[in-house]
């Protein structure tokens, strides 16, 4: 076996410096590997390669960036000057730019290959980026010459022990059989549906270790690329811990009396109801009781900014401002416009793990659903999310808005059935009765606990929430929202 064919060490990966990407790759790039990064113009290839180079240079590595593009290095650097990873102090020792455009034009692939070998040797580079592989492919006389070029580059990488990234704007690796020769293929792309666009990353091939399969979201900010591995691909496979005898209450005497044993610790609950029914106050009560028990809590909302939320619940006797001030309660507010589903999951789970959160209220499950461009994913996503929440020991309540204020039809705006999301189901709705619009509360399901299934009136006062005794007179069709006395002949 030649030295160029010696297996690379798998315990010393090359970190990309892109948050989330090393996890997708199983730890980073394999040393001395040759990788292709493919994507349409504007997908983020050049930014990704530079982010990797500056990350490696900060750790003491030397990186060689060779361009085959007509764009000048000065223009490229000007475009990156505002990026957080860019550091001019690393030029030219840490990151060295070379143009191979003229050499390729005058001497072809053989001249380009010699340039790469020479510059890697002169700068003792451990990272090589070749930006513009499509130009090299076009300069090749035929596919055989191009395959030979890639093979020679692989041999050089093995001998000189450098890791190579080749960037190309070709329309996809499947149309080029010679791409199968490389150690890995990473595809970046931008998708559009209507007026909305989002970015996706997929590791199409990777030698040396397993990767997180499938498509993963990424975004580009002033910090560079940030990848959010798909939640379903990294979910815990082991069963969640047994909560034992730990039980959860809302801290509302009239509500807790309907299920005296309480909710199972670490369980997931869902409260359904139309706007204004009381979902936010019910979830805030759950958090307030947790704070009284000395537990760290988390509120994730989409519709009401933190200040307005705190004022709203305060007017109903729920004071959360002190807990926010001292860090026991964190409010993650995300405007519902164009969220990324895996970003939301990452924010939620990161805060839970960092602060060891025990109670979570997600106010707006429908907003999370709208963040998914493909609704067919929602079933597997919510199953993975609830699994992660249970594994962290967090008792979670999701609020799900139903579109109808009242009426005989109950719409559940979810592609996946609520029973698949939650062990416990609570239901709020408005009912018109005796000329007044009242709130109705009922328990549909409560796992591992006895409960009172009767329909109750749900009242919100300045002192908080109160669940009243069952209606004292016989009333028909309460659940339709249009109640009447039996035999009255009218609503």
Contact 181, 157 (CB under 8 A): no
Report which secondary-structure segment, H or E, holds 152: helix 143-160
Burial of 170 (0-12, 13-18, 19+ CB in 10 A): middle
Strand pairing category for 215-221 and 263-264? unpaired
Residue pLDDT tens, the chain, 491 long: 333 334 434 458 999 999 999 999 999 999 999 999 999 999 999 999 999 999 999 999 999 999 997 667 888 888 899 999 999 999 999 999 999 999 999 999 999 999 999 999 999 999 999 999 999 988 988 888 999 999 999 999 999 999 999 999 865 445 576 678 899 999 999 998 878 889 999 999 999 889 999 999 999 999 999 999 999 998 877 777 777 678 999 999 999 999 999 999 999 999 999 888 999 999 999 999 999 999 999 999 998 899 999 999 999 999 999 999 999 999 999 887 667 889 999 999 999 999 999 999 999 888 888 777 777 788 888 889 999 999 999 999 999 988 655 554 455 555 455 556 789 999 998 887 776 788 889 998 998 889 998 889 899 988 889 999 886 555 555 555 555 555 554 44
DSSP 237-298: -SPPPP-TT-EE--S-HHHHTTSTT-EETT-EEEEEE-TTSSHHHHHHHHHHHHHHTT--EE
The strand ranges marked E within 125-195 are 127-131, 163-168, 184-193
Q: Quick one: pLDDT at residue 380?
A: 86
Q: Quick one: pLDDT at residue 3?
A: 36
Give, in degrees to the nearest 5, the angle at Cα 351 between 426 and 239: 65
191 φ/ψ angles, rounded to the nearest 5 degrees: -110, 150
Strand pairing category for 263-264 and 329-333? unpaired
How many Å apart are CA 276 and CA 286, to the nearest integer?
18
How many Å apart are CA 238 and CA 81, to the nearest integer?
45
Identical topology for domains 3-229 and 247-480: yes
Q: Quick one: pLDDT at residue 414?
A: 53
Q: Quick one: pLDDT at residue 19?
A: 97
b/e 319-332 (16+ beta carbons within 10 angstroms → b): ebeebbeeebbbbb
Q: Quick one: pLDDT at residue 5?
A: 37
Of 373, 366, 357, whose CA–CA distance to 303 is shortest? 366
Domain boundaries, the chain: 3-229, 247-480
Alpha carbon 120 to chain centroid distance? 38
How many Å apart are CA 113 and CA 103, to the nearest integer?
10
Q: Quick one: pLDDT at residue 4?
A: 36
Q: Quick one: pLDDT at residue 2?
A: 38
Please state which of the four CATH numbers 3.40.50.720, 3.40.50.150, 3.10.20.740, 3.40.50.300 is assigned to the domain occupying 247-480: 3.40.50.300
Report which secondary-structure segment, H or E, holds 95: strand 95-99
Q: How many residues does the chain have?
A: 491
CATH topology of domain 3-229: Rossmann fold (3.40.50)
Dihedral of alpha carbons 203, 204, 210, 216, sign? positive
Q: Quick one: pLDDT at residue 305?
A: 92
How many Å apart are CA 86 and CA 223, to the nearest integer?
9
CA dihedral 231, 204, 169, 77 (to 10 degrees): 60
> In the structure encoding, which two tokens stand for residue 77, read together?
């650097």
How many Å apart are CA 260 and CA 410, to the nearest integer?
28
b/e 408-437 (16+ beta carbons within 10 angstroms → b): eeeeeebebebeebbbbbbbbbbbbbeeee
365 φ/ψ angles, rounded to the nearest 5 degrees: -65, -30
Q: For the whole model, what pTM was predicted? A: 0.84
């Amino acid at each position: 076996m030649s030295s160029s064919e010696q297996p690379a060490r798998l315990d010393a990966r090359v970190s990309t410096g892109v948050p989330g990407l090393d996890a997708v790759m199983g730890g980073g790039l394999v040393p001395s590997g040759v990788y292709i990064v493919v994507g349409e113009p504007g997908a983020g290839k050049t930014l990704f390669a530079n982010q990797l180079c500056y990350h490696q240079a900060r750790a003491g590595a030397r990186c060689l960036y060779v361009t085959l593009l007509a764009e000048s290095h000065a223009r490229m650097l000007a475009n990156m000057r505002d990026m957080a990873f860019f550091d001019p102090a690393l030029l030219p020792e840490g990151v060295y730019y070379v143009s191979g455009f003229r050499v390729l034009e005058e001497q072809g692939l053989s001249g380009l290959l010699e340039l790469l070998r020479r510059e890697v040797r002169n700068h003792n580079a451990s990272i090589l980026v070749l930006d513009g592989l499509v130009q090299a492919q076009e300069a090749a006389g035929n596919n055989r010459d191009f395959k030979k070029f890639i093979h020679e580059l692989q041999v050089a990488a093995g001998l000189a022990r450098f890791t190579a990234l080749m960037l190309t704007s070709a329309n996809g690796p499947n149309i080029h059989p010679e791409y199968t020769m490389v150690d890995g293929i990473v595809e970046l792309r931008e998708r559009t549906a209507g007026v909305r666009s989002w970015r996706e990353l997929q590791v199409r091939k990777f030698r040396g270790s397993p990767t997180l399969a499938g498509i993963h979201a990424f975004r580009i900010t002033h910090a560079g690329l940030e990848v959010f591995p798909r939640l379903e691909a990294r979910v815990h496979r082991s069963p969640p811990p047994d909560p034992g005898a730990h039980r959860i209450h809302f801290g509302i005497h009239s509500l807790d009396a309907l299920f005296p044993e309480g909710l199972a610790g670490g369980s997931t609950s869902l409260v359904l109801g139309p706007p204004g029914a009381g979902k936010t106050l019910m979830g805030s009560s759950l958090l307030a009781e947790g704070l009284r028990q000395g537990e760290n809590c988390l509120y994730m909302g989409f519709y009401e900014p933190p200040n307005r939320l705190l004022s709203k619940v305060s007017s109903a006797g729920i004071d959360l401002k002190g807990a926010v001030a001292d860090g026991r309660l964190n409010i993650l507010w995300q405007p519902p416009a164009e969220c990324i589903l895996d970003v939301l999951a990452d924010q939620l789970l990161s805060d839970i793990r960092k602060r060891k959160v025990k109670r979570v209220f997600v106010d707006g499950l429908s907003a999370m659903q709208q963040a998914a461009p493909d609704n067919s994913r929602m079933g597997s996503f919510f199953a993975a999310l609830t699994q992660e929440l249970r594994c962290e020991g967090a008792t979670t309540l999701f609020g799900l808005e139903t579109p109808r204020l009242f009426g005989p039809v109950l719409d559940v705006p979810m592609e996946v059935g609520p029973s698949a999301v939650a062990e416990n189901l609570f239901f709020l709705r408005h009912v018109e009765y005796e000329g007044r619009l009242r709130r109705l509360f009922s328990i549909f399901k409560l796992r591992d606990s006895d409960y009172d299934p009767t329909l109750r009136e749900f009242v919100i006062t300045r002192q908080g929430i109160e669940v009243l005794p069952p209606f004292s007179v016989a009333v028909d069709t309460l659940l339709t929202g249009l109640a009447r006395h039996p035999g009255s002949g009218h609503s």
